[in-house]
């Protein structure tokens, strides 16, 4: 059940909150449905199993818990996790990450490249949480277009590959309602290379360079459709990932319902970068659960925080994993990583 499907109009009682907390914690730890006997015997809750069972049923009716057909226990829904992170976690102290991320970044700022530092941090946060760590760098601003390829993957699917002067390679897929003429794709590649080579990525001049009144309606419509591959690149960012093997193990694949979508998002990057852009706005921790994310990412949860000097965020530190993740540890980790990386970039950029 998605967050939007839950009946959250009625507030939870203190007892219901305690039971929901117990179910979420137990399920995060074990991955198994949680029954009333387990909750009653776990300590701290002085209610009979029958009372707990009635409350579990009520929480299920409200949309916070689900009841797998093969088990007598309950598991949290996305709405249950959302209530947990919004209402229950803020009342508790966050756990220690068990590592000094400031020390992980290293003190020898002058002799370590920034990209090495970001990669090292992605490794560290992934190891701490057993999740996929993703750190985005500052946006590409000074690169120019070196080469463009327009490839027809399927009759209605086109990929545009852009290689920049800094060696970065970006790929974007575009879907069309009708089959694309292979000749149009070949023409577009030649036209783009003639018009935009040497131009700054994402600059406004790119759009004007592509405007040609002599073009026919087919060519003009095709260029307009694929133009974002060039004009949106100013927001493109280097992305450092670590922990794919941790998240994509056989044991965890079953917990990620849109595994193919996740793989596409990691490969193409644009959908993920668009989501992480939300972490750059403000200073709060950015957290999205399952269906709150675009379709390709709807099988996972993302916890992220921006980093940078006080005048504005430069990038984001994020963790990606199954909806059944240790949210408390993930939040604590991205917050600590954000603070450590913000201090680091202050030293680097002054």
**45-84 pLDDT tens trace:** 788 889 999 999 999 999 999 988 777 799 999 999 999 9
**Got the DSSP string for 129-156?**
HTSEEEEEEEEP-S-BEEEEEEEEEETT
Q: Do domains 101-139+237-349 and 145-235 have the same CATH topology?
A: no
Q: Which residue has the higher pLDDT, 198 or 103?
A: 198
What's the mean pLDDT in 171-175?
90
Rounded CA-CA distance 185/147 in Å is 15
Whether 64 and 6 have beta carbons less than 8 Å apart is answered as yes
**Got the DSSP string for 277-322?**
GGGGSSSSPEEEEGGGS-GGGTTEEEEEEEES-TT---EEEEEEEE
Mean pLDDT of the chain: 85
Q: Which residue has the higher pLDDT, 69 or 318?
A: 318
Instruction: Report the predicted TM-score, pTM, of the whole model to 2 decimal places.
Output: 0.74
Position 109 scores a pLDDT of: 47
- Strands 157-164 and 145-154 come out as antiparallel
Lowest-pLDDT range of 71-80, 165-174, 309-318:
165-174
Position 132 scores a pLDDT of: 95
* pLDDT per residue as tens digits for the range 239-263: 899 998 888 776 666 777 777 888 8
Q: Under CATH, which number does the domain 101-139+237-349 receive? A: 3.30.450.40
Give, in order, the Cα–Cα distances in Å from 40 to each of 43, 60, 67: 7, 18, 18
Q: Check whether 138 has a pLDDT greater than 80.
A: no
**Structural domain boundaries in the chain:** 3-91, 101-139+237-349, 145-235
Percent of the chain with pLDDT over 70: 87
Q: Check whether 112 has a pLDDT greater than 80.
A: no
Position 57 scores a pLDDT of: 94
Q: Count Cβ atoms below 10 Å from residue 142 Cβ, excluding itself.
A: 9
pLDDT band at 175 (very low <50, low <70, confident <90, very high): very high
The first and second tokens of residue 33, run together, are 């449905």
Q: Check whether 29 has a pLDDT greater than 80.
A: yes
Q: Check whether 3 has a pLDDT greater than 60.
A: no
The first and second tokens of residue 131, run together, are 């999740």
Q: In CATH, which of 2.40.50.100, 2.30.29.30, 2.10.109.10, 1.10.10.10 is domain 3-91?
A: 1.10.10.10
Q: What is the DSSP letter of 34?
A: B
Q: In CATH, which of 3.40.630, 3.40.50, 3.30.390, 3.20.20 is domain 145-235?
A: 3.30.390
Position 96 scores a pLDDT of: 87
Q: What is the DSSP letter of 47?
A: -
Q: Check whether 332 has a pLDDT greater than 90.
A: yes
What's the mean pLDDT in 198-222?
81
């Amino acid at each position: 059940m998605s967050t939007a499907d839950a009946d959250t109009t009625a507030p939870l009682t203190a007892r219901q909150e305690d039971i929901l907390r117990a179910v979420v914690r137990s399920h995060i730890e074990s991955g198994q449905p949680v029954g009333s006997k387990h909750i009653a015997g776990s300590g701290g809750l002085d209610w009979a199993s029958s009372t707990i069972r009635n409350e579990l049923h009520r929480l299920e009716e409200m949309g916070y818990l689900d009841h797998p057909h093969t088990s007598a226990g309950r598991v949290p829904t996305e709405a249950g996790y959302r209530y947990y992170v919004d209402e229950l976690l803020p009342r508790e102290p966050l756990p220690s990450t068990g590592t000094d991320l400031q020390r992980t970044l290293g003190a020898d700022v002058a002799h370590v490249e920034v990209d090495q530092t970001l990669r090292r941090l992605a490794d560290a946060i992934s190891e701490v949480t057993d999740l996929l760590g993703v750190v985005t760098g500052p946006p590409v601003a000074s690169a120019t277009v070196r080469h463009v390829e327009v490839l027809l993957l399927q009759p209605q699917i086109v990929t545009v590959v852009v290689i920049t002067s800094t060696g970065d390679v970006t790929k974007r897929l575009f879907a069309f309602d009708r089959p694309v003429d292979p000749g149009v794709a070949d023409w577009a590649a030649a036209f783009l290379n003639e018009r935009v080579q040497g131009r700054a990525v994402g600059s406004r001049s790119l759009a004007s360079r592509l405007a040609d009144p002599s073009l026919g309606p087919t060519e003009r419509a095709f260029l307009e459709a694929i133009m974002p591959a060039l004009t949106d690149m100013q927001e493109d960012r280097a992305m450092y990932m670590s922990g794919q093997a941790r998240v994509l193990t056989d044991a965890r694949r079953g917990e990620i319902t849109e595994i193919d979508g996740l793989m596409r998002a990691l490969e193409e990057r644009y959908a993920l970068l668009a989501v992480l852009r939300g972490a750059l706005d403000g200073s709060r921790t950015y957290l999205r659960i399952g269906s709150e994310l675009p379709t390709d990412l709807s099988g996972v949860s993302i916890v992220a925080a921006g980093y940078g000097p006080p005048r504005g965020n430069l990038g984001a530190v994020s963790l990606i994993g199954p909806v059944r993740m240790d949210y408390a540890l993930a939040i604590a980790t991205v917050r600590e990583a954000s603070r450590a990386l913000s201090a680091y970039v202050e030293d680097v950029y002054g």
